[in-house]
């Protein structure tokens, strides 16, 4: 839901949810064996919380990597005296400097051109091997 291109406000939530379900259907066959789940046990809620924490941290890191370029554009524009030329960013719903928006668009296009979206899906799959869903909770395997 927070992937740089599709996780913006310009893409409706139903389409983002549909894409998330499609990615889930694609990656489930390659995941390691998951433990049996008792739907009402406390352990199930702990597993859900762990997986939410892993997903939120991965999404946060990707957003930080992209917002670094937006911040760099803001700093460069203010030092060049172009800080007054701002435009509305429809993806985030805020007003940003034109140079910052340009840098953000270039980075997003490079992300797609270098198959960054496929690397993100691979990182998502590998996260289940590095931090597997087990009884002990967060055993770190490299």
In tens, the pLDDT along 39-91 reads: 788 888 888 888 888 888 888 899 898 889 888 988 888 888 777 777 766 66
Encode burial over 83-121: b for 16+ CB neighbours within 10 A, e otherwise: beebeebebeeeebbebbbebbeebbeebeeeebeeebe
Asked if residue 137 belongs to a domain, the reply is: no
Asked if residue 102 belongs to a domain, the reply is: yes
Tokens of 35: 């433990």
Asked if residue 83 belongs to a domain, the reply is: yes
Asked if residue 22 belongs to a domain, the reply is: yes
* Alpha-carbon separation of residue 2 from 57, 80, 117, 123 (angstroms): 11, 32, 12, 15
Q: In which domain, by residue range, is 62 found?
A: 13-32+41-130
Asked if residue 2 belongs to a domain, the reply is: no
pLDDT of residue 21: 92
Higher pLDDT, 113 or 81: 113
Asked if residue 5 belongs to a domain, the reply is: no
pLDDT of residue 115: 92
What global pTM score does this model have? 0.75
pLDDT of residue 37: 78
Q: What's the pLDDT tens digit per position in 5-34?
A: 777 778 888 998 898 899 999 999 998 887
Asked if residue 55 belongs to a domain, the reply is: yes
Asked if residue 139 belongs to a domain, the reply is: no
The domain total for the chain is 1
């Amino acid at each position: 839901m927070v992937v740089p291109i599709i996780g913006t406000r310009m893409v409706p939530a139903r389409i983002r949810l549909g894409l998330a379900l499609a990615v889930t259907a694609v990656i489930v066959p390659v995941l390691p064996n998951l433990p049996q789940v008792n739907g009402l046990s406390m352990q199930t809620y702990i597993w859900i919380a762990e997986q939410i924490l892993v997903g939120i941290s991965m999404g946060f890191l990707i957003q930080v990597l992209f917002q670094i370029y937006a911040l760099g554009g803001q700093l460069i524009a203010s030092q060049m005296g172009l800080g007054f030329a701002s435009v509305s960013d429809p993806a985030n719903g805020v007003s940003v400097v034109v140079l910052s928006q340009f840098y953000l668009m270039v980075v997003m296009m490079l992300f797609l051109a270098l198959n960054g979206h496929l690397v993100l899906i691979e990182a998502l799959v590998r996260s289940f091997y590095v931090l597997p869903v087990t009884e002990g909770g967060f055993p770190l395997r490299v």
